[in-house]
Structure 1
């Protein structure tokens, strides 16, 4: 199943993340840095929830989740727009958490590593 979903702003970033994981060196660094299975559950502007699983423990893949959520180390629950801001580095995960815009289920320490992983996996040129 494709990570793309046109009803979510995060779709473009998730595709970039998937492309970044396609590079062997980048994937190995991401797995070494996170060592976690992370589930993102996002709510779009229409109120629809959708989840993606990012496996940075074994195979370094990202995919959309259908049905029940698989076992993970941490689940991040937030609005689609806030996820995009977080992924682009325009929002701070700790501030989102403190303001109640980011909910974390599971290992909070694993959640703190995700911002660094986003920066590492983003294949866009750094200006």
Structure 2
């Protein structure tokens, strides 16, 4: 299991794919150029366990899992693990999640909207190879 995966979190697979994508210098540089922020994503799983991930798209283009209280970033997104997976896969709309109270945002609201674009531009799902 990689350093970004977490037992009991469905988002673990997405985090691993995103981390792998960020190892590509070109992808990381594009993400930094487009987002220019440190995003803290705090997820709560079915068992009620809460974990945070720090997506540095301001300086390093890195992703880290954080045990304990979440650090300060430019923006913090707080939502359920299942809702995050839907959001990252394009099956849920960030604005609707926010309006329905399923997504809480602390910090720079405009930077929060950039997260959806990050997943779309990277499309962390593996591409079929011919």
TM category, shorter: over 0.9
Aligned match of 1:5: 6
- Whether the aligned pair in 1 keeps the contact of 2:51 and 2:68 (CA below 8 Å) is no
Contiguous gaps of at least 5 residues in structure 2: none
- Whether the aligned pair in 1 keeps the contact of 2:42 and 2:70 (CA below 8 Å) is no
Q: Which is bigger in relative contact order (C-alpha 8 A, separation at least 6)?
A: 1
Aligned match of 1:48: 49
TM-score calculated relative to the size of structure 1: 0.95
Partner Cα separation in structure 2 for residue 125 and residue 78 of structure 1: 28
Partner Cα separation in structure 2 for residue 50 and residue 88 of structure 1: 20
Indicate the SS of the match to 1:113.
helix
Shift of 1:122: 2.7
Cα distance per residue 1:38-93 (max 9 Å; x no partner): 00100000010000000000000001112332220000000000000000000000
Contiguous gaps of at least 5 residues in structure 1: none
Asked if 1:80 corresponds to 2:86, the answer is: no
Query: What CA RMSD, in Å, does the superposition of the two structures yield over aligned residues?
Result: 1.3
Partner Cα separation in structure 2 for residue 48 and residue 68 of structure 1: 12
How many residues align? The count is: 126
- Whether the aligned pair in 2 keeps the contact of 1:96 and 1:102 (CA below 8 Å) is yes
- Whether the aligned pair in 2 keeps the contact of 1:16 and 1:122 (CA below 8 Å) is no
Indicate the SS of the match to 1:116.
helix
Partner Cα separation in structure 1 for residue 82 and residue 20 of structure 2: 21
